[in-house]
Amino acid sequence: MLKLSFAFVEDYKINKQLAESYLDGKRLHSKLFVSGYLSKTISSYIMIEIVIEARNAAIAPGMNVKRILPFRLKRMVGPFIFMDHAGPVQSTPTNGSSLDVLPHPHIGLSTVSYLFGGQVTHRDSLGVEQVIRPGEVNWMTAGRGIAHSERFEDPASLAGGELEMIQTWVALPEKDEEASPSFDNYKPEVLPIYTEKGVWMRLIAGDAYGLRNEVKTLSPLFYLHAVIQQGSKFGLPKEHSERAIYLAKGSIEVNGQFYQEGQMLVFIKGVDPIIYARESVTLMMMGGEPLGERFIWWNFVSSRRERIDQAKEDWKQGRIILPPKDNKEFIPLPNDKSKPAGSSPAPELLS
């Protein structure tokens, strides 16, 4: 049997077990190798680097979420280092405040909040108070440090499973990690729409499919909300090296394989798959260019471990200012006895 050098497939990030399965299936042959590299023929068989299953997590006493990133085998996609999918909330809580996320700090990242339904009130250290509604882009850059809260104060938005939101974190380039914090809200009408038969997409940030918007970003990326009708087909944007889609609702087919709600598909660099909607689907599409290694602990992200240690001390000592319009309570710094699910006491290196 042909022996496959796994150094050759490193550029495609194909793990040994997967590559061997294709060998055993006699799908690979000597013509796949050109000057020591795999030819593009292999990409017709292997499209996806990894499939990430959303895990359950809690961000408040009454708010459970699906956590997608980070994942132990895939920490980042481009600059995207974190992704949660909250809701839809299936029942109205007797105590709406149980859903609230109290004031908490961030450094070294931008948070991006995007709602499918309902509304949430954002308050931060800058004095910003913003009611976030569906279709808006809410981009908060933490830089050297900011605190914010997210409160669900409209009872009507909690009724009937309406509340549903996606939050991602975008790591900052090293030169911008100590930037001044900022917050920007962008209304749906300033976000370009891409349509073709059975396909609707809103560009949340960056550039894709020839579209670009005015959302301020600090590194090359793309982020889209897409709704694809049953039976329709579409492809990935080609402008960026790292690309992924998250299935918020529905199921798709890629290269003869089926994928469903709650899964993230991370695609191999350079492939050009055709994605088929087996039913009406709602997707988040994202990616961009990698930034390099990052440490993450709790809500802190940095290229330097010691900077996270400093952020811990800054929060304990009150040097990160609470939101002036929401400063009566806050989330204390986790410790060894009370650490967030899935984290460890020491900062974790991401790459």
Q: What is the pLDDT of residues 254-277, one digit of tens each?
A: 999 999 999 999 999 999 999 999
Instruction: Please tell me the distance from the alpha carbon of residue 62 to that of residue 70, in angstroms, as a whole number.
Output: 22
Q: How confident is the model at residue 154 (pLDDT cuts 50, 70, 90)?
A: confident
Q: How much is the pLDDT for 336?
A: 39
Q: How much is the pLDDT for 34?
A: 35
Residue 314, sorted as left (phi over 0), alpha (psi -120 to 50) or beta, turns out to be alpha
pLDDT 10s digits, 38-60: 444 344 458 999 999 999 987 76
Please state, rounded to an integer, the average pLDDT across all residues of the chain. 84
- Calculate mean pLDDT across residues 86-111: 82
Q: How much is the pLDDT for 80?
A: 98
Instruction: Please tell me the distance from the alpha carbon of residue 169 to that of residue 148, in angstroms, as a whole number.
Output: 14
- pLDDT exceeds 80 at position 5: no
- pLDDT exceeds 60 at position 183: yes
Q: What percent of the chain has pLDDT over 90?
A: 72
- Calculate mean pLDDT across residues 177-193: 97
The residue among 341 and 21 whose pLDDT is bigger is 21
Q: How confident is the model at residue 350 (pLDDT cuts 50, 70, 90)?
A: very low
- Calculate mean pLDDT across residues 115-121: 95
Please state which of the ranges 78-92, 227-241, 292-306 shows the lowest mean pLDDT: 78-92
pLDDT 10s digits, 188-235: 999 999 999 999 999 999 999 999 999 999 999 999 999 999 999 999
- pLDDT exceeds 90 at position 88: no
Question: What values do phi and psi take at 42, rounded to 5?
Answer: -65, -30
Q: How much is the pLDDT for 38?
A: 44
- pLDDT exceeds 60 at position 181: yes
Q: How much is the pLDDT for 46?
A: 83
Q: How much is the pLDDT for 6?
A: 34
Q: How much is the pLDDT for 87?
A: 86
Neighbour order of strands in the sheet with 55-60: 55-60, 63-69, 80-86, 164-171, 109-117, 137-141, 182-186
Q: How much is the pLDDT for 159?
A: 62
Q: How much is the pLDDT for 36?
A: 37
Instruction: Please tell me the distance from the alpha carbon of residue 9 to that of residue 87, in angstroms, as a whole number.
Output: 39
pLDDT 10s digits, 310-344: 999 999 999 999 999 999 999 999 973 333 333 33
Place of tokens 């087919």: 253
